[in-house]
Amino acid sequence: MLLQDVLEFHQWNATHVDLKKYFELMKEGLVNIKKHPQYPLFLLNYTPRTQYRQEWCKELVHARGLVVEQDGKILARPLPKFFNHYEISDLEKLRDEEYEVFEKFDGSLVCFIMKITQYSHTWKFYL
């Protein structure tokens, strides 16, 4: 993974995703797509196979609890995948630049979002 790719992936601010692309990635075993049992909503998560292959694209970087409607409209956007220092091959480019370092303590991700949509008027807690 190159530093420029990581920076571009993390600047992605689309309001919709291409669900066809995600279904293609699902066929390759790179993303899980779960349909909500009642509403036309989908939960998108990258798979262990994605992590093992380390072949990231913007769709996979953001498929970390991403909730979308059937037309691809994003309803909940958790933090994108972050990369460990050893996963970025040209990290030395940052040697003379300002940057921030964060420590992640455990392996969980919590997305606490208040969404008022046609589906719900409640607080949602995603793990």
Residue 124: what pLDDT?
Answer: 52
Residues β-bridged to residue 44: 33, 66
Residue 99: what pLDDT?
Answer: 73
Residue 122: what pLDDT?
Answer: 43
Tokens of residue 75, six digits: 């309803």
* Mean pLDDT per 10-residue segment, the chain (127 residues): 77 88 97 90 94 91 91 87 82 77 66 54 46
